[in-house]
Amino acid sequence: VYWLPGNFLIRAPGFGYLNPLRALLLTVPITSAVVWYIRRTEYNRIWPLHNFMAAVMCVWLISYVRLPSLSVAAVVALLLGLYDFFMVYVTPRFTYDGKSVMETVARGGKKGEVLPMVVHVPSFSYGDKYQGCTGPIVGLIGMGDLIIPGFIVAYCGVVDAYCRRGESCKLSFLALGAYAAGLIITYIVK
């Protein structure tokens, strides 16, 4: 248990003993989920919250999963990359409407109900008196495109922490730089 300032308990009827600071911090995810549920179809307004929720899920999953070795992380990344390629570029040849299965799911299908499992990349347009400050969503980056390389960056960070004998190990900085460059290239290509 992590110590937080104000780490004391108060008795709450029906709930037992609660830490008031933790109860207050719990309002952030609950409020985020409720606001997202109510406004989930208003893409031009909800995308920052949507992206925040996706980022929190990415960080949580990367910090929760422990891979035993870099070779396991590399094999998982390779296999999921092949899966991603198949689902995005090969499945349009088999579907009746010629659309990718993965893109259809990520965009919410016919209903347009998009879950926070993608990061929206908006097209910013500032003309005509700012019209909500954003244009339509032009790109999506799937959580797998963020989480899988994140596993490798996290693993490199563990290796750096383990062999921190002077300034010889800088794997995490190199991996993070390559990760950021890959995301920038993905944004430019989209």
pLDDT tens digits along 14-35:
777 777 777 788 888 899 889 9
pLDDT tens digits along 79-107:
988 998 898 889 999 888 888 888 888 77
Cα–Cα nearest to 22, from 2, 37, 40: 2
Active site residue 145: yes
Give ∠ CA 100-104-106 in degrees, rounded to 5: 115
Measured between its terminal Cα atoms, the distance across the chain in Å is: 43
Model confidence at 78, pLDDT cuts 50, 70, 90, reads very high
Out of 84, 97, 128, 160, pick the active-site residue: 84
Q: How far is CA 114 from the centre of its chain?
A: 14
Kindly give, in sequence order, each residue whose CB lies less than 8 Å from that of residue 8, ignoring residues fewer than 6 positions away. 19, 20
- What is this structure's pTM? 0.72
Q: What is the spatial distance between Cα 99 and Cα 93, in angstroms, rounded to a whole number?
A: 8
pLDDT tens digits along 106-118:
777 777 677 778 8
The one-letter amino acid code at 72 reads V
Question: Beta-carbon neighbour count of residue 68 at 10 Å?
Answer: 8
Confidence (pLDDT) at 7: 64
Active site residue 160: no
Confidence (pLDDT) at 162: 80
Q: What is the spatial distance between Cα 70 and Cα 155, in angstroms, rounded to a whole number?
A: 7
Task: Using DSSP, state whether 143 is helix, strand or coil.
Answer: helix
For the chain, give every domain's residue range.
1-39, 42-189
Q: What is the spatial distance between Cα 121 and Cα 51, in angstroms, rounded to a whole number?
A: 9
- Are the C-beta atoms of residues 157 and 142 closer than 8 Å to each other? no
Model confidence at 3, pLDDT cuts 50, 70, 90, reads low
- Are the C-beta atoms of residues 44 and 38 closer than 8 Å to each other? no
Average pLDDT of every residue of the chain: 79
pLDDT tens digits along 168-182:
667 888 888 998 998
pLDDT tens digits along 52-64:
888 888 998 998 8
Task: Using DSSP, state whether 120 is helix, strand or coil.
Answer: strand
